[in-house]
Every structure is written in C-alpha cells, then in structure tokens.
Amino acid sequence: TGYGLEKKVVKSKVGEKVGLPCCHEIPSSESLHNYRVYWQKNTTEVVLAYAEGKMISKHERYENRTEMNTKNLTLWIYPVEILDNGPYQCVVQHLRFSQNSVVVCDEPVTLFVTADFSKPNITAEVSADSCESTEMVVKCSSHGGFPKPKISGALNNASMVWNASWVSESSLSPYNVTGQLRLNVTKDVSITCSVEYNGFTKSTSLLLKKTNYCVVPTVPPSHNVITASSIIIIIFLLAITLAARYLPRHGKCSSFFKKRSLTA
C-alpha cells in the first residue's frame, strides 16, 4: 500500500482483503451518531452510507463483501474483485445542529486491483528447414490476469519485440495476451517471454534447437579433383622410378646365370 501527498493509492490482488482509508477519524469523545459518511466509487456509485450511526444504503454488488470501521471509517472489501478497481471517495459530514451539516472532508483514494497471469507458455513450430537455418514460428501466451499487461522477450539476453495481441471482454475483465514471432535459427538459441502487469512479472525461457545439421565438405570439389589428380600423377611417377631401378638389375642377373650355364 502506498500513499502520495495528494493522491492516496492502495494496491490489492483479487481474492485478498483490502482497507481503503478515509480522510477523517472520529474523535473518541464523539460517536458515529454525529456524522454522515458516504463511500462512493467513480463519484456516482454509492458503495455504502451511514447516517446518525445507522447504515442507510449499500450497493448490491458489495453486499456481504464490505464493512466500515465505525471509528477510523476505513472501508474494508473482501474478497476483492477486478470490478472493484478504480477511484473511491470518502465524504464525511458532521451534524452539529438539528438539520445543519458541515463537510469535514471529501478526499479520493484509488484502488489498483491485480489478478495474476498464468506462467507464459512458449511453443515453437518448424516451418522450413535447411542446412543453413531452421525457420520457426514461435508463440508465447498467458491468460487470466489484470490489468492489461506488457509482453517482452529476449534472444540470448538481447531484447526482442513480439507481435502482440490482447483479448478482454471489457476494460474491467481478465486479459489474455499472445505474442508471435518468426525466427531463422542458425544455431541453438534461448528465448525468454515475460509478462509484466502492475509491478509484477512472470517469465518463461525455452531453448530453440537448430534441427538440421548437414555435413558440409571443408574442401571445395574443384580442389578435391586437383588433389586426386596430383596423387595419381605422383603414384605413377613413383611406379616408373621403381620399375626403372628394378628392371635393369633383373636383366644383369639373368645374363650372368646364362653365362655360367654355358661354361659349365
């Protein structure tokens, strides 16, 4: 709960009990019988009203959910609903004489209601795949919260922007939010989706994996042809060299054996 000098602000979550402070407190020497108290919403809708110590009016929407402290005039609401969000006003009149009344105070207080969003859900569908990259359609969704949220994202901690859309029946109804993005993933990357509302944040992260890794040759085909040709030529030259060194010796040996057989 926070209070400004000019504008009082109270924050609460759906389902909680909240007290809206009034601008006046009845002194111990007096009682509620000396006052008229009006708690209003949007300056037109009377939440409840007291006159001369008795409740004279109560709005049906607040039935069984509101009560007022008879000393400090705090308006208690339980359980809080989204529809309770908005500006309120505590108007206090003092009855000094039989019919005359003096306005003691008339000040606004704003209630900010928050409903928690679900933890964001991230899905990724592969729309195209190649050796170089994987094209994905990534979606992030969260629902059931209030007020209207902001949706943000990050790719490996670098901020990114979603194509966002919001759905709500009215300005005082729960919101559903969806973010969508097309990504070309060239390597594994972490994506984060965050939903922010009224000072609260819910986040989810997901690892997007490059799905198709192809074995790309490190040497271009033209080089392969040149290399293979060079190896063949070298082997051919080696074969000729070995043959040239081996054949002459073989010839000398055979003529030597022929001579010996003739002399014998």
Same domain, 123 and 110: no
| Structural domains in the chain (count) | 2
Q: What is the CATH number of the domain that holds 20?
A: 2.60.40.10
pLDDT at 259: 45
- Structural domain contains residue 247: no
Of 180, 208, 236, at which residue does a domain stop? 208
- Nearest CA to 155 out of 206, 189, 181 is that of 189
Same domain, 67 and 164: no
Residues 210-250: pLDDT tens digits? 887 776 555 555 566 567 667 888 887 877 877 677 665 55
**Single-letter amino acid code for the residue at 162:** W
For residue 85, the enclosing domain spans 8-114
Residues 55-92: pLDDT tens digits? 999 999 999 999 999 999 999 999 999 999 999 999 99
Q: Where are the beta strands (DSSP E) in the chain?
A: 2-3, 8-13, 18-20, 35-41, 45-51, 54-58, 66-68, 75-77, 86-95, 101-114, 121-129, 134-145, 150-155, 158-160, 163-167, 175-185, 189-197, 200-208
Asked whether the predicted pLDDT for residue 264 surpasses 80, the reply is no
Same domain, 173 and 77: no
